[in-house]
Structure 1
């Protein structure tokens, strides 16, 4: 088997390697509940193909018994008393049987297609929804290592490939199996000696097919990996099309797409070359059986005696049946190669799908977890330490320790990369702490159910995301049963109602992909309205006003002041003027708390917070040289981490 070291670039290599017999699992887990339509399809397929065998058999019988009168007219399982003696009536009986075989065969073919299509479509639906459900429940660490296009490739291309095999491939397995066994049985019944000659290529075809499987399997795995890479590149570029255009980098991006597409071309062409060599060779082997059968049978009929070591007689009708069936036998044997080709593609896809399904959730769920109950809304960070990468010596946040009383507002400030957003992601339990604990009203986050935790927290992030849909649908996302008056009140609280009312369709206006039809400030206000409508016990504002102008910020801040008056609030802001009225301000640097207090107390300290305030006040010349040097070092570390 060829070397497959290229799989090192497959984002699902580890998942695929841990998947054991994915096709058996596919049928065991998803096929078993859908046995009825598949069983109907199998029975109909067998009956349809058996009926397909009747016309050549009846033609051979008509030639020998009706036209040439070389044998008596008899039918399997039919008493001779039921068969008419008149040749003309026998002729019409043959026509009637052939016509009936075509008519009933068409009905069974329809039933067969219905059964296999229903089986495949239901499994496709179940696999896709289960894969997505598993994917969305995984920890954020998983998504940090995967691109959207790669995940879309699994949900779309791989799942669709399974459906094609379950419909076309599985359908063909039974259809061709009946044809091969049926034809082989009929040929052996009519003349076992000539049948052996006709079936001689079968062992060679089986060996040739086995070698094809060994060769093509790693090549299809490489193709699946390349498809994911292409999808990721295209998804990434289309998502950043505005940056590409504004940066005038279209030629650069075209070259990058050309590179990944070229890798896919090479991988796919490698598989295609193997496939297009296999099928003609398979047809050639199957054709040898037809040619040899025609020669031996033709000489047998032509000379009237058995050639070589063969014995007995061969009638013209039997010879015609052999020729017709041997010709039909070639096609099914060649089609088995297509089925195996389809199976290998499905196997590679099933490995990725079940590998993804088996990805462990890195957020352990306590077996005795209970719903979170909010009484006061007191949040306690107890000596919390966390790092995104276990191999990194320095954690992202270290020994973070503070308590926020219910109804108070705590602001997190500090330079870029200080760990502010990470601290709040731990509160949402997007990640688990490595050391220490976070408690809400004394309840450890690891001991409460995730849905109840996140139901009590409203989050407004700096990277505002809107779903494709209407303004109303985006505001009510997560609070789907809200009435119109509540929606309008939430929009007013976020200073969004006025601009929404001026949109073409008001709250029914489509916002476009990711809210592209709205400005950054408008998107941010809709995100705030979404959090307001949720009416959470704890509110998290991560740069919630970063994309609005100063005037709009003032209006939003006024609304947020009303909103945060009776609930525990966490706020991150680079514009320190927006958080100067917080009950407590915690200053982070390098993942550690270096200061804490009120705005006035921190200014009086004259340390990091006072210097950051001085920067925003435009007092650059009055900053100490030490602060400027530390800022340069922090910037250098941040850029190194980004690289």
Structure 2
């Protein structure tokens, strides 16, 4: 039994091959959600502009209505603080009396808050809709791509690692698209608009307020370089934690019966500690960065306050500054400067969210770009099974070039016949039949159904015509009925019940608490192995395939249950082409043809009686099951020991 100890990110190769993942995110998914994006952008723009009106009006009122030392005409003060607004234009929209101007200011401020609230709603709706729709599309597309990859891809990936991409990484993208982009655009509008207003009010003092900007930019650039690889490490460690937890929860019965709770707690502690270390490293970098930005931002605010304050107190510009600065202008300037400086510091938080999203998008698009060894012609025709004849023509297959799993496999099965594959563990029996289902594609040779190469027809049509009953029966969480009709969703209740009766399952189903509506639990945990097996057989009967694969369908049940299942299988295999893999040779001794595999090659073929008479591998395997161990040749025992050693080394 192998234990996953790989320290590398299992998706590292996919992540490194992802090209411009964030650009692809917007190009491939942003276009179909452009309406929500436009609503979010436009609403953010107007919400921010309206948010700037109250401090501007406050400064205008201070200079023209409240300042007793020097009052400035209202229209002139207003035009001086609002870019692109002339004094004559301002005079045309403002009342002539002071009390009228006062109430005008109140109304403008109230409208700014009221209308701004409406635009804030539009902003939140737009960005949330944009983010949620993209999140949904990416999650479903990623899952669809993942489930269409060939089985080789899943051989070195754990469920928790893949769940980490479908859940954590996709959710992290949603947070950036909603909170991150919302904040980025909001702060961008504020920075640009406030900068324009500040330079309109007093360009010299505005330059003072801009002093920290290049420092913040340089500091942020350095932060990006440092934090990006750290977030990649965090995403990798999250996948390892999810894998360990998923693996342990799935094997909780083994853990309890083996009394290994402490051992597994230590293993969870190890992967959790790795995640803690990676995440804490990123956190330490982040918590050093943000206070530094605040210091730089505070420096700009302090310089602006000192220069502006001296300017107002002295009545003229200090040092090399020139011109006038009114008290109302200074108040507006400081209020807006604070709104300008703090957003500059918050850009660091947005950059932080962007880097997290970048690491997640690289894993997502790296997975989407993963090539499959199963290449299907989009214009491939559907398979039309008439006779059910299956031919393996010199088939050779290996997962990679370094190792061949099955070699030069050749046999023919007439329509309606049963062929049994027999051999020791690791002989390649299951692999041979997975090639028929196109779980993998052959490296050499061809597999034909009714004379048609299965690579020339569509995958769905192949699998629609082939039923598969495995020893490792998988039931989905749901009802008995839902599991029987899985794959044949248009079946009627009568057809479902008929399939259950044919599978010798109807009687025990009706004795369940809720009959066919009984919940089977996670992976069918509430049912026995034999009950799960018969539901699986009922599923295959309901599908009514032209070709049937039985992969050790009775290997893990008791003798009485095997008898019931065998009766079900006899009905299921009648008049259809059947492939059967069996360790219990008694279940396949009546097969029309038996093919014996060893080391990925065919070493014998024939009917049961003929193979017994040949006194070869099949006869020796039969002798083992008949309890005739003392009569077996030493050569067979030595070869069995070598095979077992190779199998254990590969597990």
TM-score by length of 1: 0.97
Contact 1:524-1:547 at 8 Å conserved across structures = no
Structure 1 residue aligned with 2:495: 486
Task: Describe how 1:60-75 pairs up with structure 2 within 5 A.
Answer: 60-68=59-67, 69-74=70-75, 75=78
Q: 8 Å contact 2:469–2:551 — kept in the other structure?
A: yes
Q: Does 1:588 align with 2:604?
A: no
Residue number in structure 2 paired with 1:535? 544
In 1, the alpha carbon distance for the partners of 2:71 and 2:7 equals 69
> Equivalent residue for 2:296?
285
Shift of 1:475: 0.5
TM-score, normalization: structure 2?
A: 0.96
Maintained 8 Å contact 2:231/2:359: yes
Structure 1 unaligned spans of 5+: 1-6
Separation of aligned partners in 2, 1:488 and 1:83 = 82
User: More displaced, 547-556 or 590-599?
Assistant: 547-556
In the alignment, the residues of structure 1 paired with residue 94 and residue 565 of structure 2 have an alpha-carbon distance, to the nearest angstrom, of: 94
How far has the Cα of 1:81 moved from its partner? 4.1
Structure 1 residue 41 and structure 2 residue 40: aligned?
Answer: yes
Which aligned pairs between 1:299-338 and structure 2 lie closer than 5 A?
A: 299-338=310-349
Aligned partner of residue 134 in structure 1, secondary structure: helix
Correspondence for 1:356: 367
Distance 2:155 2:295 in 1: 51
How far apart are 1:45 and its partner, in Å? 0.3
Structure 2 CA distance for partners of 1:405 and 1:380, relative to 1, 3 Å: same
Moved more, 548-557 or 94-103: 548-557
Mapped contact 1:368–1:447 kept (Cα < 8 A):
no
Match of 2:189 in 1: 178
Q: Which residue of 2 aligns with 1:216?
A: 227
CA contact (8 A) 2:548 2:577 kept: yes
2:575 to 566, 571, 575: 566
The count of aligned residue pairs is 635
* Structure-2 separation of matches of 1:458 and 1:354: 33
Q: How big is each residue's C-alpha offset from its partner over 1:151-200, in whole Å with a ceiling of 9 and x where there is no partner? A: 11111111111111111111111100111111111111111111111111
CA distance in 2, matches of 1:228, 1:42: 35
In 2: Cα distance, 1:567 partner to 1:73 partner: 94
Q: What corresponds to 2:3 in structure 1?
A: none
* Structure 2 SS opposite 1:459: strand
User: What displacement does 1:305 show?
Assistant: 2.0
Query: Is residue 478–residue 521 contact of structure 2 (8 Å, CA) maintained in 1?
Result: yes
1:189-242: per-residue Cα shift (whole Å, max 9, x none)? Answer: 111111111111111111111111111111111111111111111111111111
Q: Distance in 1 between matches of 2:372 and 2:319?
A: 71
How much does 1:523 deviate? 1.0
Aligned to 1:575: 584
1:248 and 2:259 equivalent?
yes
Q: Distance in 2 between matches of 1:481 and 1:547?
A: 31
| Whole-angstrom CA distance in 1 between matches of 2:51 and 2:551 | 70
Alignment of 1:4-153 (within 5 A): 9-68=8-67, 69-74=70-75, 75-76=78-79, 77=85, 78-153=89-164
In structure 2, the partner of 1:227 is 238
Per the TM alignment, residue 368 of structure 1 is displaced from its structure 2 partner at its CA by 5.1
Farther off after superposition, 281-290 or 8-17: 8-17
Shift of 1:300: 1.1
What residue in structure 1 maps to residue 283 of structure 2?
Answer: 272
Q: 2:433 aligns with which of 424, 430, 449?
A: 424
Query: 1:555 deviation in Å?
Result: 2.2
- Hey, which bits of structure 1, 4+ residues long, moved more than 3 A? 75-79
CA distance in 2, matches of 1:529, 1:8: 43
In structure 2, how many angstroms separate the alpha carbons of the residues matched to 1:442 and 1:545?
A: 32
Would you say the 8 A contact 1:224–1:348 is kept in 2? yes
SS in structure 1 of the partner of residue 520 of structure 2: coil
Aligned partners of 2:537 and 2:568 also within 8 Å: no
Aligned equivalent of 1:632, options 632, 636, 641: 641
Contact 2:537–2:569, Cα closer than 8 Å, also in 1: no
The structural deviation recorded for 1:492 is: 1.3
- RMSD after superposition: 1.4
Mark the runs of 5 or more structure 2 residues left unpaired by the alignment. Answer: 1-5, 80-84
1:188 aligns with one of 195, 199, 202: 199
Q: How far 1:86 sits from its partner (Å)?
A: 2.0
Change (3 A) 1:511 1:367: closer
CA separation of 1:628 and 1:82: change in aligned 2, threshold 3 A: closer
- 1:466 corresponds to 2:507: no
Residue of 364, 376, 394 corresponding to 2:387: 376
Alignment partners' CA distance in 1, 2:92 and 2:636: 112
Which of 433, 439, 443 is the aligned partner of 2:442?
433
- Once the two structures are TM-superposed, the CA of residue 554 in structure 1 deviates from its matched residue by 1.4
CA offset at residue 633 of structure 1? 1.2
Equivalent pair of 2:623/2:632 in contact (CA under 8 Å):
yes
Query: 1:327: Cα distance to partner?
Result: 1.5
Aligned equivalent of 1:4: none
